[in-house]
Amino acid sequence: MLKENCLNEGYYEISKLGNILLIIIISACMFLVPILVPTALTAVFGAESTIANNSQIVVGAIINTTLVMSAISVKGWKNIVALITVPSISALTSGLVLSVASIFTVYMIPAIWIGNLLLVYSIKRIYVKNNKNFVLASFIGILGKALIIFTGFNLLTLLVSMPEHVQMVLTTAMGSNQVITAILGCTIAYGITKVMFQSNKNN
């Protein structure tokens, strides 16, 4: 599956140098956002604020935006596979997004990687390669990602004992939040790429 031509294609024509620069920018964003954003939200709004306590929504929306932009623009299946691993590693090592539940997310990494890959693959396959409706590609990708991650979490609860409050945090984080942040990411990424494409076309 990974070697299918669709992962080596981009919706917009980008030079080899442009592809490299895009990978560097997206990688930096994916790595830094889980580290910097929760701290920034706490500093600006306060540790007890609603927005700081829901930093996963903000971080997740940005990460999903970069994932979808990768699907639309970045070429090369090796580049795609490398990019999908960055956010979860950064979030895990920083421990800032899910705080007390972070240790249990170690077991969720394979499901998160597969879910992210499915989202990117759906956009690549349906929207980029087959030039089908972006909403359809997003719907399939979001649904697949959410199902894989939430199924992985349910399997985890059967195998690993965790405190009740941690399980509650992760149920939301691996369930509804995955759908919300993926929808936000798809919407934002589509808007950004359309503006960029229109700007390039006008120039």
pLDDT digits (tens, 9 = 90+) for 31-78: 888 888 888 988 988 878 888 777 889 989 999 999 999 898 888 888
The model's pLDDT over 74-121, given as tens digits with 9 standing for 90+, comes to: 888 888 888 888 877 777 666 544 555 557 777 888 888 999 999 999
What pTM did the predictor assign? 0.85
Distances (CA, A) of 33 to 27, 37, 39, 58, 191: 10, 5, 10, 9, 20
Residues 168, 146: Cα–Cα separation, whole Å = 17
C-alpha dihedral sign at 66, 67, 70, 72 = negative
pLDDT band for position 130 (cuts 50, 70, 90): confident
pLDDT band for position 149 (cuts 50, 70, 90): very high
Beta strand extents in 17-73 (DSSP E only)? none
Q: What is the mean pLDDT of the chain?
A: 83
pLDDT of residue 2: 46
pLDDT of residue 157: 87
Q: What phi and psi, each to the nearest 5 degrees, are found at residue 197?
A: -65, -45
Cβ contacts of 32-41, under 8 Å, gap ≥ 24: 32/90, 33/59, 33/62, 33/63, 33/66, 33/87, 33/90, 34/59, 34/63, 34/87, 34/90, 34/91, 34/94, 34/96, 34/97, 35/90, 35/94, 35/96, 37/62, 38/94, 38/96, 38/97, 39/96
- Six-digit token pair at 129? 């390669």
Residues 138, 160: Cα–Cα separation, whole Å = 32
Q: What phi and psi, each to the nearest 5 degrees, are found at residue 67?
A: -65, -45
Query: Which one has a higher pLDDT value, 129 or 101?
Result: 129
pLDDT of residue 197: 64
* Average pLDDT of the segment spanning 147-174: 86
Contact 109, 92 (CB under 8 A): yes
* Average pLDDT of the segment spanning 8-20: 75
- Six-digit token pair at 134? 């972006």
